């Protein structure tokens, strides 16, 4: 093989690899858009379902994932001594705390409830407003969700009533409580008395448009590489020979 043919072969292989790689990235972006569209549809359809009976609440992670975003009606007893305030959480752009309290459904059966949001006291960061926690059996209307998302933290193994993050398995070992593999975001009931807790829970941002835009860019780059190869390696040399 002459040096010229070897150079052409290298250019051809590089062009094919670049076209294939950029086209694959475009397909990946379309797949991401389809996934987010499916999540948005699940949020819409599950949210419109009637509240899930307490007896059907998931006990394993796979079933819990299939129940995310669905309304649920629970009855149990607050374990107020294990209430945790998650710091640096926002609602409507304001910094504050997510208040979490375990709800005992039955002895040895507990679910973590995200009870709502409270604003931070800027004069004394560790001061928390009083949260009404009734004793005895309570009724909780909520929406099934994953445990609270983790924020960046410098250390691990946090303790105390105010924390940056809460890992459900670690919290279970700390409190010796058997938690279901999910959490419940409590919702306001029209007939309930007003509370200081705010419950305007945000939904995942599912912007499929940007993925379609990225896909177009990758496909356009793939087409550009193919076009440049055809022009520089085939059409222009032929014109030059003529």
Give residue 238's pLDDT.
Answer: 81
**Coil vs helix vs strand at 233:** helix
Which is it for strands 162-163 and 84-91: parallel, antiparallel or unpaired? Answer: parallel
Give residue 155's pLDDT.
Answer: 55
Length of the chain: 242
Reported as a pLDDT band with limits 50, 70 and 90, residue 232 is confident
Q: Which helix (H) or strand (E) holds 223?
A: helix 208-230
The residues near 207 (Cβ < 8 Å, ≥ 6 apart) are: 36
pLDDT single digits (tens) 95-141: 889 999 999 999 989 999 999 998 887 777 777 777 888 899 999 99
Q: Is the pLDDT of residue 1 over 60?
A: no
Tokens of 94: 């304001």
Q: Is the pLDDT of residue 152 over 60?
A: yes
Give residue 156's pLDDT.
Answer: 58
Give residue 54's pLDDT.
Answer: 92
Cα 118–chain centre separation: 21
Q: Among 20-24, 133-137, 155-159, 162-166, where is mean pLDDT lowest?
A: 155-159
Q: Is the pLDDT of residue 27 over 90?
A: yes
Give residue 52's pLDDT.
Answer: 93
Give mean pLDDT, residues 172-186: 94
Give residue 140's pLDDT.
Answer: 93
pLDDT single digits (tens) 49-91: 899 999 999 999 999 999 999 999 999 999 999 999 998 888 8
The residues near 175 (Cβ < 8 Å, ≥ 6 apart) are: 82, 102
Dist CA 52 CA 58 (whole Å):
10
Q: Give, in order, the Cα–Cα distances in Å from 112 to each of 40, 115, 196, 225.
A: 24, 9, 19, 53
- Cα dihedral angle (93, 35, 43, 70), rounded to 10 degrees? -110
The fraction of the chain above a pLDDT of 70, given in percent, is: 95
The answer, as to whether pTM is greater than 0.85, is: no
For residues 138 and 107, the answer to whether their CB atoms sit within 8 Å is no
Q: Is the pLDDT of residue 157 over 60?
A: no
């Amino acid at each position: 093989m002459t040096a010229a043919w070897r150079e052409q072969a290298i250019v051809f292989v590089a062009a094919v690899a670049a076209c294939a790689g950029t086209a694959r990235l475009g397909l990946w972006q379309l797949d991401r858009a389809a996934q987010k569209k499916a999540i948005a549809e699940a949020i819409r359809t599950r949210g419109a379902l009637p509240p899930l009976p307490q007896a059907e609440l998931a006990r394993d992670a796979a079933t819990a994932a299939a129940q995310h975003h669905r309304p649920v009606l629970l009855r149990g007893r607050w374990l107020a001594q294990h209430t945790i305030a998650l710091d640096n959480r926002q609602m409507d752009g304001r910094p504050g705390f997510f208040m979490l309290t375990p709800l005992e459904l039955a002895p040895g059966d507990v679910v973590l409830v995200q009870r709502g949001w409270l604003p931070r006291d800027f004069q004394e960061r560790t001061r928390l407003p009083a949260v009404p926690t009734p004793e005895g059996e309570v009724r909780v209307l909520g929406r099934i969700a994953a445990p609270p998302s983790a924020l960046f933290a410098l250390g691990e193994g946090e303790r105390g009533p105010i924390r940056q993050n809460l890992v459900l398995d670690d919290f279970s070992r700390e409190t010796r409580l058997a938690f279901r593999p999910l959490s419940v975001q409590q919702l306001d009931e029209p007939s309930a008395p007003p509370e200081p807790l705010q419950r305007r829970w945000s939904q995942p941002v599912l912007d499929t448009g940007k993925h379609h835009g990225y896909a177009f860019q990758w496909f356009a780059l793939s087409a550009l590489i193919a076009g440049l190869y055809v022009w520089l390696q085939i059409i222009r040399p032929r014109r030059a020979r003529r």
